[in-house]
Amino acid sequence: MMPIDAEIIALESRAEGIRETIVAMLVAAGSGHTAGPLGMADIFTALYFHILNHDPKRPEWEDRDRLILSNGHICPVLYAALAHAGYFPIEECLTLRKFGSRLQGHPERERLPGLETTSGPLGEGLSQAAGMAYAFRMDEKKQRVYCLMGDGEQDEGSVWEAILFAGKQKLHNLTAIIDRNNIQIDGVTEDVLPLEPLADKYRAFNWHVLEVNGHDMRAFIAALEEAKTISEKPTMIIAHTIPGKGVPEIESDYHWHGKPPTKEEGERFLKEIRTMRGKVPHEYA
């Protein structure tokens, strides 16, 4: 069901709150990835607060939808979304990457409620998601599986094995989402290993493909709703995003792929995020 205007505004506000949490947790950790998590805040907000069939009070509920984060290094946005959704206290986000913390630098499934897989090495998530979707169909279950991937991750050969399998099996209960932010750790994706024409490649492997502005909440939700209507193919949503979204001084700069802000930068970034949303900046604590 498409949200009304007031719901869209509330979702957009929630996404900015998640961005603030991401900055705070990265400052506290002193390490981690900044650009990707900030760029994906709108997408994770749409999923956890409008699309997914899930229950934070029952994280092991059998009938829940499954969300698989394949590019595990952007986990600050996943942790922040889970915390804002009520899976654990938001204050715990400040333990990111600390020794003994449940919030490690890559997600570990058995440490934290709401995590479906352990992710670290790139290229594995789509195979895991396809296996889950295949099993649900075999068991005649109605759950959907969502897999979040990076665009640089498309360089991995194992991704294309999963694409072949999902297309052949016509896994209509599988929706994959590529964060098409055009950067990876070594530079611009089209310089490192060109991906285009990316949409045509997925179509050739028998996928239903949608391209959307990943920061347009209404358009992204519409794409997710369309995916639910496709009965003969898996769906790939190529979400065009801006890495570092919300902090103009670092937007689209690949150097921030794996770089955290300092305390001083964090104070400035939070003010920029709040100003962009028309909020009154206040001192970072």
pLDDT at 44: 98
Cite the beta strand spans of the chain per DSSP E: 66-69, 145-150, 174-180, 183-184, 187-188, 208-213, 235-240
**Across residues 82-96, what is the average pLDDT?**
98
How high is the mean pLDDT of the chain? 95
Q: Residue 210 pLDDT more than 90? A: yes
% the chain with pLDDT above 90? 93
Q: Residue 31 pLDDT more than 50? A: yes
Q: Residue 262 pLDDT more than 80? A: yes
Q: Residue 282 pLDDT more than 70? A: no
pLDDT at 225: 98
- The residue count of the chain comes to 285
How confident is residue 128, by pLDDT bands cut at 50, 70 and 90?
A: very high
Do residues 31 and 103 make contact, with C-beta atoms less than 8 angstroms apart? no
Q: What domains are defined for the chain?
A: 5-276 (3.40.50.970)
CA distance 225 to 253: 32
How confident is residue 281, by pLDDT bands cut at 50, 70 and 90?
A: very low
How confident is residue 2, by pLDDT bands cut at 50, 70 and 90?
A: confident
Q: Which among 40, 35, 43, 77 has a CA at the least distance from the CA of 250?
A: 35
CA distance 217 to 42: 7
Cite the beta strand spans of 131-258 per DSSP E: 145-150, 174-180, 183-184, 187-188, 208-213, 235-240
CA distance 243 to 145: 25
pLDDT at 69: 98
pLDDT at 279: 53
CA distance 270 to 27: 11
Q: Residue 285 pLDDT more than 90? A: no
Q: Residue 275 pLDDT more than 90? A: no
Question: How much is the pTM?
Answer: 0.95
